Structure formats: structure tokens, C-alpha cells
Amino acid sequence: MITLSNPGGSKKDCVKRSMLQRALLIVFSLVSQAFAEPMTFASPTNIFAPASTPAHSIYGLSLLVLGITACIFTIVVGLMTYIVVKFRRRPEDDDREPAQVYGSIQVEVAWTVIPILIVVVLFMATARVIASVQSPTLDNAVKVTAVGHQFWWEYRYPGLNIVTANELHIPVSDPVHPTPTLITLLSADTDHSFWVPRLAGKTDLIPNRTNSMWIDPQQTGLFLGQCAQYCGTQHAKMLLRVYVQSREEFDRWVREQSQSAHLSDTVSEGRRIFENTACTKCHVVTGTPATGQFGPDLSHLMSRETIGAGVAANTHENLRQWIKNPGAIKPGALMPAMGLNEHELDAVTAYLETLR
């Protein structure tokens, strides 16, 4: 136990020592409490719960880096604490300058060689992970093209003739039937970044450049992510939702998405209003005159759980509000308010709710 009291010191020194003792007690109590309670990571974007091979590789590398830096931190703080306590000022000190050390070859070699070795180890480990992530062997891969827009995601499945938006569906990759997903990344306007922490690292989408990444989720479920590159006003609400499904569920989803949009005569008024406004200049609804290329494909709008790239649940109230004024839900969204009256809003909402 370190005793910092010194009856022979001045009153000012006693106050300083008392404050130091209290600070040490607070630090020790906080550290003890932290280690007494197990740490839990409940975040849906937790990088310490990898569910795909690329994420596992990055996770292993992060543990190595954290371990090395933690050792460095412990050694440095330990030496500093020892020096502060061992060589603190005492009343009996005669204020003479301590002996100086010049030209110590051992010290200079140590603080030169050790950092070089640490950097080499980190470099080699990082290069190995980068090589394994960027040069995979992808047999029987599901191919998807992800296009970043301000401020939403477009997903194209070239081999399946499917186009959807904001919610990516892929099959699970189990050891018996490995099914990786190869994602080609494009940008329609500015820089974006595709990042689903539990599945893979960040990969940028850059205009006039084609990038790619791959994932092989080993468990089903919903995985959340985020555009990780500032791309404008609503960058923070350009969310990613990846649905990893069993092979049977994915095949069923493919069959449903491959069908033409459901058209019903009961909502003919809403369809007429939709097709006679500027909606058709931006959106696609298969089997109708709506063939726009600037907004999400709405052919199966109601098969999605969210609207606005994940910012709101796909409910009747939210959908109606989005049609009325997208900026009320997502300020800065590039979709304009169409100026429809209440009756027209109800009719268009009813029509869109048939697109399943």
C-alpha cells in the first residue's frame, strides 16, 4: 500500500496529497465496478459480434491491435505512476539536479527497435486480412449491384431480374451449402460508403468507379448498417437493412419480387392520379407507364418494412405523410411534396398499398 501522508509537510502539500488520495480511490472504485459487472454489447451494429467471414477477420485483427496497444498503455502508465510516486518531491530534498544520463546505446536501441517491430507486426497482420477480404473464392455467389443515391439505396439482382430499394435480401451461407453474396458498389451522385458492421468492413461507393465487396452471413436475421461517408443533409438517415434469410425464404422472396406489380380496379382513381403526376418521372411500377429512374422502384413497395431508407415504419399513416410531405419525416429528402389535396392523398395511398 502506498502512503502519501507526510506530517512534516506544509498545509498546502497535505491538501494536495489528500486530493490525490481521493482521486486514486475514485479511480480504483470505478475500475473495480467495471470489472465486477460483465460487459454487454447489445448494439445492432456491434463490431464485436461478427456474423460473416470478412467481419470475423476484421474482428480478429481488432483484438490483436487492441491487445498490443493495451500492453503499451499499461507499460507506459505503470512506468509513469512508478516514477511519480518513487521520485516525488520530499521535504528533505536538497533541490540538487539529479544525475543525467547521456548517450545510452541500450535505451536508444530499445526505443527504436521495439516500435519498429510493433509496426511490422501490425502491418503484416493488416495486409493478411486485407488480402483475404479482397481476394475471396466465390463459388455459387449471389450477385447484387448496390447503387447509392441521395439518400437511399437501390439493389439490383442481375441474374434474377429484380430491382428493389433500401432493404437487401440475401440467403444465409451455411457450412454445408456455402452461399456468399458478391456486392458490386456504384454511386449515382456523390461519395457513399456501404457499412454493415456485423457483416463486413466499410467499402466506398465513388462516382464513375466500380468497387466490390462480399459477405457470407452464417446466421439468419436482420443486420443494420449505415452510410459511413458524409453525402449530404440526410447522410445520417441513409440507413442499411440486410435481411439474411434461409434458402427457402429467399427463394420465396425472389418469386414474389419477380412478379409484376399487383394492379387492382378498386384503386383505379389512385392509380390515375399517380400516373398523371410527376411520380412517374422518378419511380418505376412494372406494368404501368411509371418508368422513372431517379427514385426507388415501387413495384413491391408494401413488401418492405420501412420507407425513407429505414427512417420510418411502412404503415398507412407514415406512407400518407411521406406522400404529403417527405420533408416532415426526412428533412432534406430530394422527393418534393406533390401538393395533393386530402382526397387525392387518400386515393394515392390506397393505390400504393396494393403494390405488394
Q: What would the DSSP string read from start to end of 45-103?
A: T-TTS--SHHHHHHHHHHHHHHHHHHHHHHHHHHHHHHHHHHT---TT---PPPPP---
pLDDT at 39 over 50: no
Q: Of the candidates 177, 174, 152, 176, which has an alpha carbon nearest to the alpha carbon of residue 165?
A: 152
Q: Is the pLDDT of residue 138 over 80?
A: no
How many CB atoms are closer than 10 A to CB 157? 19
Helical packing angle, 53-86 and 105-134, nearest 10°: 160
pTM higher than 0.85 for the full model?
no
Confidence of residue 33 (pLDDT cuts 50, 70, 90): low
- Find the mean pLDDT for residues 223-239: 93
Query: What residue spans of the chain are helical by DSSP H?
Result: 11-36, 53-86, 105-134, 247-258, 268-275, 279-282, 316-324, 326-329, 342-352
More confidently predicted of 183 and 41: 183
% of the chain exceeding 70 in pLDDT: 88
pLDDT confidence tier of residue 21, bands split at 50, 70 and 90: low
Determine how β-strand 306-307 pairs with β-strand 192-195: unpaired
Residue 180 pLDDT > 50: yes
Quote the distance between the C-alpha of residue 167 and its chain's center. 15
Q: Which residues of 128-238 form beta strands (DSSP E)?
A: 142-149, 152-157, 162-165, 167-171, 181-187, 192-195, 203-205, 211-215, 221-227
Distance, CA of 340 to CA of 272 (rounded, Å): 13
- State which fold the 44-91+136-256 domain adopts: Immunoglobulin-like (2.60.40)
Least confident of 21-25, 71-75, 154-158: 21-25
Confirm if 151 and 232 have CB atoms less than 8 A apart. Answer: yes
List beta partners, residue 203.
194
Q: Pinpoint the alpha helices (H) of 194-275.
A: 247-258, 268-275
CATH superfamily, domain at 265-352: Cupredoxins -  blue copper proteins (2.60.40.420)
Max avg pLDDT among 8-17, 112-121, 134-143, 332-341: 112-121
C-alpha distances in angstroms, 262 versus 131, 220, 244, 271? 46, 29, 25, 11
pLDDT at 228: 94
Question: pLDDT grade, residue 260 (50/70/90)?
Answer: confident
Residue pair 155/163 in contact by the 8 Å Cβ criterion: yes
Query: Which of 30-34, 176-180, 184-188 has the lowest average pLDDT?
Result: 30-34
State how far the alpha carbon of 318 is from the alpha carbons of 150, 163, 262, 307, 321, in Å. Answer: 20, 23, 21, 8, 5
Tens-place pLDDT, residues 287-316? 888 998 899 999 999 999 999 999 999 999
Q: What is the pLDDT of residue 356?
A: 85
User: Rounded to 5 degrees, what are φ and ψ at 148?
Assistant: -85, 130
Q: Once rounded to an integer, what is the mean pLDDT over residues 67-81?
A: 95
Bridge partners, 182 (sequence order):
143, 214
